[in-house]
A and B are shown apart, each in its own frame.
Chain A
Amino acid sequence: MTDEAAGDVVLSLEGVTRRFGSVVALDRASLRVRRGTVHAVLGENGAGKTTLMRVAFGLLQPDEGTIRLHGVARRIASPAVALSLGVGMVHQHFTLVPAMTVAENVALGGRGLFDPRAAAARVRDVATRAGLTLDADAIVGTLPVGAQQRCEIVKALARDVSLLILDEPTAVLAPAESTELLQWIRAHADAGHAVVLITHKLRDALAIADDVTVLRRGRTVFTGLARDTDEAGLADAMLGSEETGASRKPDIARDSARDHQSDVPSESANQSGGGVAIDDGIDALLRTLLTERGSTASSSGAGAPIASRERATVLRAERIRVQDVRGVERVRGASMYVRAGEIVGIAAVEGEGQHELLRVLAGRAEPVSGTLTRPAIVGFVPEDRHREALLLDATLLENIALRDAGARRGRMPWSALRAATADIVRDYQVRNGSTGLLARALSGGNQQKLVLGRELRDAPTALVVENPSRGLDFRATAAVRDALRAARDGGAAVVLYSSDLDELLLLADRVYAMHNGVLTETARDRDLVGRAMLSA
């Protein structure tokens, strides 16, 4: 990249730091996007990809760092400023008005009088020049997702942007639509524009990108030419293997001391790519995780011995296929089994079908085909507890009562339920919990403990949990993990999905990686799991 002329750099972010409270989302991250190229920004969930691009689009202000557009340092106070400077962004979650036509959506945010005919003509003009098929007069809400996305793109292009930022554009698309979009992105860049493609799909990135930047824990850990790297190199950079090679074992419980000593792991210096690897020191989070790993060894048995014991299979799925609400097949012939007394982890990046798979395993949805063995009652802890698990404006008592609400007949056994609620509040240490308190009044961690307590009441034979420690503080996270281990040790078959790979490897006895709707059993090895979930 050094041989490129400075004038060709459309956007340059240098040393951008952004904190949210005590969390450092971006830590001196940098990015240089050249004209006429597709620049892929890669990273795990929470690596800071979207945050970085929000800074570029004026949605967030950096705490430190410089933003240059065409070589000129700029302060991008708002998306309006970004658009006026030629930076457009298409968000992962669309920002369209469903009841309006395509032309009206594109005209939104403009000034002066609205002329429907001129607006439609403008859309046709922009779409034709960009080579996108789009009906200007269609009502957006009636369009398929792919067309809605083209509408979002045209919306940005209509503002004459020279740089287009696309945040996970293929996440919502069917495979054929994805291919089409990627081809369009390539052509658009070839026409002299710049495109930033935020993604966690290595294959997409390598297929069309000229340049690749990898973020990890808010830092730019790799940047280079796509043609000089490969999936393995990028996966290494994304996952941050602390040692070169794949020798590191995840069950550090047994040798946590060694990890503590290697406090400054060296970045894989001999990356297979031709780019520059930037050293990444171990951060506080990793340290606490390692400390916790150390304590795990004593608090509960390590995974391997349990897995080797003969245990009954509680959950079994064979070649199941599951569709999402739109009828798109999300789970495409997945097979897995879970035995009593083990935690089985599902590793996947966002939107690989795990959402649908977990709900089928939990008995909250049904597959369209395949064989499924599951107990009548499966405990389920969804990641969005406010939406799916709790009645926020009801009491703790009523939230506990909710579990059997569907099948119950006749009177509510309130006094028995009150006793059960008091037990859960005590056993799971729901702080400040009293049976008559509204669930809304509890902190997130205590809400989660309540949900766990409810789902684990009467020791169900199977439990499905999805990102169980999302949004929780350290103490609550530890409590939730202890509860999961206790359930496992008590003989429950536990399925765990966590977008945090460290958490997954910490808790799981066995791991399946899920990629594009297909499950593959994978050794409990951070590198192998990481590779499998990124490119099965």
Chain B
Amino acid sequence: MLTAAGTPADQLAIAPSATRSSGAVALVVRSAALAVAALLVLVLLLLATGHDAGAALAALGRGAFGSWYAVTSATLVRAVPLALAGLAVALAFRAGILNVGAEGQLLMGAATGAALAALMGTAPAPVVLVAILVVGAAAGGAWAAIAAYLRQRFGVLEVISTIMLNFLAQYLVGWLVRGPLQEPTRINPQSASLPDALHLPVLIGGTRLHVGVLLAVALALGVWWWLKETAGGFRLRAVGLNAAAAASAGRVRVGRTVMAAFIASGALAGLAGAVEYTGVTYALYDNFSPGYGFTAIAVALLARLHPLGVLATAVLFGALQAGANAMQRDAGVPNVVVSVVEATLILLVLAAERWQSRAAARAESAT
């Protein structure tokens, strides 16, 4: 009943860090610490469940980094959609938008890509390929725009609306691959496979690593630079930090900024779907995404919403998932163990954030 003074109630628990840590060094240290923590948690889990930790870790290492092929075709290939969707989540969260709909936006990107491939059959291949990527991103943005509109117009919480839109997208894909987009033989619930000419070029011969990885790196650098150096990026961060102050002190049009950030976030996730479709799966089917859009939330949070950090954590999660499959195959350890590790990491990071901000609050009240 006592009125709480001072602290703004609507602060996100996950405060962006780009302005407080001193750039690249801190980021590397953080990533290393995270990798070590992940390893420790994994070892503890393996010991607790009575597995041969040595053998399991060896299998995990082989699966993720054991060979050139493992690094490029298992780890990095998985890291690409995680990085793109992770950027999507990071961008939204930095604007104070809790977009947990990257999964749905990713699926819409892929589905639209598949539809476009079917519709533009005779057009020149490079045109179609670029169109798939562009329209895929646009579709993700449009999917996010629904939630953005609902938030702006009716105050619908985006956490709810984006989760619901995830289900919609999932069932829409299920219907598409059994209906309009089903492959010609009408046997399997999937789309016709993409002709070779429409595949994203492979970057390194003999591997599955496609040029999407360059796209992810370029976009991470681009988002990082844009947030840091441009007026638009600054507005987005200001709105995320304190929308009321941005509106009053900065005369920022908060509604516009939120709308644009939400749509840009959806576009990044949609692009992740289109890249995965043209670079890896070459077809649309049920369970097209093994939860990339959800893991992307973890990727973004672990990176403390830093675009370059997202690249690092995407590789970490890509490696964990690639290694998990090898671990299951070679050491008989269920691959869900890795999901437990991922979840534990997030909890650790959030707890550390909380602890840090409390320490900051204590320091503040002491002055």
Could you tell me which A residues sit within 8 Å of B by CB distance? 59, 79, 91, 93, 95, 363-364, 380, 382, 386-395, 398, 401-412, 414, 438, 440-443, 451, 454
Whether A402 and B246, one on each chain, are in contact in the complex, defined by CB atoms closer than 8 angstroms, is yes
Contact present for B244 and A388 (CB under 8 Å): yes
> Which residues of A have CB within 8 Å of B241?
391-394
Task: Provide the bound-state CA to CA distance between A411 and B227, in Å.
Answer: 10
Which listed segment binds A: B14-22, B60-68, B176-184? Answer: B14-22
Query: How far does the alpha carbon of A91 sit from the alpha carbon of B3 in the complex, in Å?
Result: 10
The residues in B between 211 and 267 inclusive whose CB is less than 8 angstroms from any CB of A are 229-231, 233-235, 237-238, 241-242, 244-253
Is B25's beta carbon under 8 Å from chain A? Answer: no
Contact with A409, one of B7, B231, B244, B367 (Cβ below 8 angstroms): B231
- B1 and A95 contacting across the interface, CB-CB below 8 Å: yes
| B364 at the A interface (CB under 8 A) | yes
> How near does chain B come to A392, taking the closest CB pair, in angstroms?
7
Chain B proximity of A224: nearest CB distance (Å): 31
Give the contacting residue for B245; candidates A387, A410, A412, A441; CB below 8 A: A387
In the docked arrangement, what's the CA distance between A403 and B367, Å?
A: 26
Give 17 CB contacts A-B under 8 Å: A79-B1, A386-B6, A387-B242, A387-B244, A390-B242, A391-B238, A391-B245, A392-B8, A392-B241, A393-B11, A394-B19, A395-B19, A403-B249, A404-B250, A408-B231, A412-B233, A438-B19
Residue among A91, A387, A392, A405 making CB contact with B250, cutoff 8 Å: A405
Given A405-B238, A443-B367, A412-B231 contact (CB < 8 Å) = yes
A392 B1 Cβ-Cβ under 8 A: no
Q: How far is the CB of A281 from chain B (nearest CB, A)?
A: 30
Known: A405-B246, A440-B360. A412 touches B234 (CB 8 A): yes
B26 to chain A, nearest CB (A): 13
- Given the complex, which residues of A lie within 8 Å of B252, measured CB to CB? 405-406
A464 to B255 alpha-carbon distance, docked (Å): 25
* Chain A residues, Cβ within 8 Å of B1: 59, 79, 91, 95
Contact residues in A for B253 (Cβ distance below 8 Å)? 406
What 3 A-B pairs are tightest by C-beta distance, nearest first? A406-B251, A405-B250, A408-B231
Task: Say how far A437's CB is from chain B's closest CB, in angstroms.
Answer: 9
CB distance from B85 to the nearest CB of A (A): 25
Query: Which single member of B3, B237, B250, B363 contacts A93 (CB below 8 Å)?
Result: B3
> Chain B residue with minimal CB distance to A362?
B248
Q: If the complex has contacts A398-B19, A438-B19, A440-B360, are A388 and B248 also in contact, measured as CB distance less than 8 A?
A: yes
Does chain A have a CB within 8 A of B48?
no
> Known interface pairs A392-B242, A394-B238. Does A411 touch B8 (Cβ–Cβ under 8 Å)?
no
Q: A393-B19, A412-B233 given. 9 additional CB < 8 A pairs?
A: A59-B2, A380-B248, A388-B248, A390-B242, A394-B19, A402-B245, A402-B250, A411-B230, A438-B360
Are B16 and A393 interface neighbours, CB within 8 A? Answer: yes
